[in-house]
Amino acid sequence: MDNTTTGAVTAWNLLVRRDDLTTAELTDVPAPQVRDGEALLRVDRVGLTANNVTYAALGDSFRYWEFFPAPRAGWGIVPLWGFADVVESKVDGIETGSRYYGYYPSASHLLVRPDRVDARGFREASAHRVPLPRPYNAYALTTGDLAYQADREDLHALYRPLFWTSFMLADWLVDNAWLGAKTVVLSSASSKTAYGAAHLLKGQGCEVVGMTSARNLAFTEGLGCYDRVMTYDDVSRLPHTGTLYADFAGDEQLSARLAAHLGDCLVHQVVVGITNQEPAPAGTLAETGPDMFFAPDQMRKRIGDWGREGLDRRFAAAWKEFLPVAEGWVDIVHSQGPQSLERVWREVQSGRTSPRTGHIITP
């Protein structure tokens, strides 16, 4: 592909068909022009996991497509988490060369309009992003980030956004006394978000059961963070005790089988993810709980309880305890260049990636 270049800036996007996630295309875009009050960041290191496929699959209902609008109707730019460097700034307090962790497009650059700039980072205040969920608009300056570790940026890009969900889900369960359950069942137990939650929940007073495919059974058992691991074929072996089902798969048939087996013993059900890329129909969980666990909701509660700094301190402590453990659970694969981003997207979206593989791309 021929990249668009103005001066030293080469710009491109990876577009994905919103109605067919298997269709992706690298496209040239005009080099961003920086105006007063804006800063230009060059995307440097991002992780690509099944979580990013979830963003695309839920792009319309959860407004994920709106963060980085695509230049073509019917197409979208998939959000990624990672690091970027400021290459040009016309904002006081945003220095060229500074590095930020946050939410980035599948692209070479991101033009932002920073607000509330301080030593910890800034909040993106471009008009189209102001109505969107606030946690996705926060960019953390690495030099002021309590959770940052320079030698573990790959793990930050792969795990940190997922671990936020794990952390808030575990906190929500404990905060609500497990909603009366004695057992919590996590599907897609080999996924990073699920086993991050299991790591936090183990030993907290409720049995933590992981459900996974036969293919991923050995990997999931080897994690050591579940009290028990079962395959999806073993639903009938679940004991008839008060059970909370945290659905990371979004598999409607699995949910129905589990509900039929447990009956009144299913005290609560919540969807956390959709690793099968098919979200459960709206309203299917109305009798047992909310349709979807949305981490920012619990974040808002805890900011009210503890303040933002209190929440950050608690997360940073849990994160730094988790990192050395997570290092033993992942094989990091590095790729470089926009073509690699497109290739890895196709691989991860297809579901071919091993649960031990963590893709890091330097665009």
Ordered alpha helix ranges (H), the chain: 50-57, 153-175, 192-201, 217-223, 252-262, 295-327, 338-350
Walk along the chain (363 residues) and give the pLDDT tens digit of each residue: 333 333 446 899 999 999 999 999 999 998 899 999 999 999 999 999 988 998 999 899 889 999 999 999 999 999 999 999 999 999 999 999 999 999 999 999 999 999 999 999 999 999 999 999 888 999 999 999 999 999 999 999 999 989 999 999 999 999 999 999 999 999 999 999 999 999 999 999 999 999 999 999 999 999 999 999 999 999 999 999 999 999 998 888 999 999 999 999 999 999 886 544 443 333 333 333 445 788 888 999 999 999 989 999 999 999 999 999 999 999 999 999 999 999 999 999 998 888 999 999 998
Q: Would the CA dihedral through 25, 26, 30, 33 be positive or negative?
A: positive
Q: Which two tokens stand for residue 296?
A: 């920012």
Amino acid letter for position 221: E
**Residue 240 contacts by C-beta under 8 Å, 6 or more apart in sequence?**
262, 263, 265
Q: Do 203 and 225 contact (CB within 8 A), yes or no?
A: no
Phi, psi (degrees; rounded to nearest 5) at 168: -70, -35
Q: What is the per-residue pLDDT for 288? A: 35
Which run of H or E residues covers position 14? strand 9-17
Q: Tell me, what's the pLDDT at 281?
A: 34
pLDDT value of residue 215: 94
Distances (CA, A) of 58 to 131, 201, 269: 17, 27, 19
Q: Which tokens go with 58? A: 């839920």
For the CA atoms of the chain, what is the radius of gyration?
20
What is the C-alpha separation between 326 and 159, in angstroms, rounded? 8
Nearest to 143 by CA among 194, 81, 95: 95
Helix, strand or coil for residue 139?
A: strand
- State which amino acid sits at residue 119: A
Number of Cα atoms under 13 Å in the Cβ half of residue 362: 8
pTM: 0.88
Residues 13-69 have pLDDT tens digits of 999 999 999 999 999 998 899 999 999 999 999 999 988 998 999 899 889 999 999
Q: What is the pLDDT of residue 291?
A: 57
Find the farthest-apart pair of alpha carbons in the chain and give their distance in angstroms, rounded: 67
Burial of 361 (C-beta count, 10 Å sphere; 0-12/13-18/19+): buried
- Taking the C-alpha atoms of residue 314 and residue 187, their distance in angstroms, rounded to an integer, is 26
- Please name which of 333, 257, 262, 270 lies closest in space to residue 297, comparing C-alpha atoms: 270
Q: Tell me how crowded residue 316 is: count the other CB atoms within 10 A of its CB.
A: 14
What domains can you pick out in the chain, each with its CATH number?
Answer: 4-145+330-362 (3.90.180.10), 160-296 (3.40.50.720)
Beta bridge partners of 357: 331
DSSP state for residue 205 in the 8-state scheme = S
Helix (H, G, I), strand (E, B) or coil at 356: coil
CB distance 252 to 279 below 8 Å: no
pLDDT per residue as tens digits for the range 276-310:
444 333 333 333 344 578 888 899 999 999 998 99
pLDDT of residue 1: 38
